[in-house]
Amino acid sequence: MNFPVSQKKQQGLTLIEMMVAITISLILLAGVIQIFVGNKQTYRITEELSRVQENGRFSMDFIAREIRMADFWGCANAASDVTNHLGPPNPPDTPDAHPVDPSSGNTIDGTNNTGLNGSDTLVLQGAYGKGLGIETHSIAAASFDVTTVNHGLNDGDVIIATDCEKADVLEVTNSNPGTNNTIVANLGNNLPGFGNLTKPGFEYNGSGTIYRVKSVTYTIKAGASGEPALFRNENGNDVELVEGVENMQILYGEDTDDDKTANRYLPAGGLLVMDNVVSIRVTLTLRTLRDLITADGTYGRIKRTYTTTASVRNRLINN
């Protein structure tokens, strides 16, 4: 018996063809995944290193600017009598509060290897901002009338009054910027700060200038996120400035022959004479905030080190 031959063509794929297609697809997919993972890791590294670079640039610019402006006291640099009326820090355990005193010889100061990870600390003091002319001064009332109501001084601010013959460092105890031009710096103070133990012994009437004063301390401590961070303390107010700063090393450029140039760079303490420091070299070590694949193939933080040297301009001018 003859059976009719089907004229219909075969449709679909064989099992072998399907397995070959799946294998090829898996190979291609693995390549795509590898490219995606590689690009993602490259993006993470680039992003983290960009953040480290930006944090390093910001930190260096901030510190260098304050180094250049340190030890400025207006006309007090020429004064023969500089009196510090401030009391001890209030509260006593205010972190890194450094007493302000242009006559103390430690307007630039620091410590060596006392901070987190063996980092140094740096203290910079000085007056800043636009000076306010003194119109009248009452010793009894402990008040100064300045040339404008928009003086910007607030309760708790540290100021220096000077007329090139004398200078007095005080804390503002009562001030109403924008309302009147009277600034009071009376005895005692229940505000956080230093308070005043004494009043100026001589009046400033129609002469002299008032400047806001700051004492800034830079340290490395654990930040809010648990990461090491650069902290800036101004007159007892501690602020986390930049996270991811692991270490800070400070070298002080000492002028030993009075030619306005540093002859040697030394850490704080030892043979260093702070009064002769004319420049400061800062080295910061920053790290990424996340673990990444490093250049040698290990998994961990990537670190970068930045160094800058800034001159203490006011000491160069005064010399």
At residue 318 the predicted structure's pLDDT band, cuts being 50, 70 and 90, is low
User: Which backbone phi and psi does 43 adopt, to 5 degrees?
Assistant: -65, -45
pLDDT in tens, 183-204: 999 997 667 778 899 999 899 9
Average pLDDT on 69-93 reads: 81
Q: What is the pTM of this model?
A: 0.80
DSSP result, 208-254: -EEEEEEEEEEEEEE-TTSSEEEEEEETTEEEEEEETEEEEEEEEEE
Count of H-run helices and E-run strands, the chain: 2, 17
pLDDT in tens, 248-269: 999 999 999 989 899 999 999 8
Average pLDDT on 123-141 reads: 92
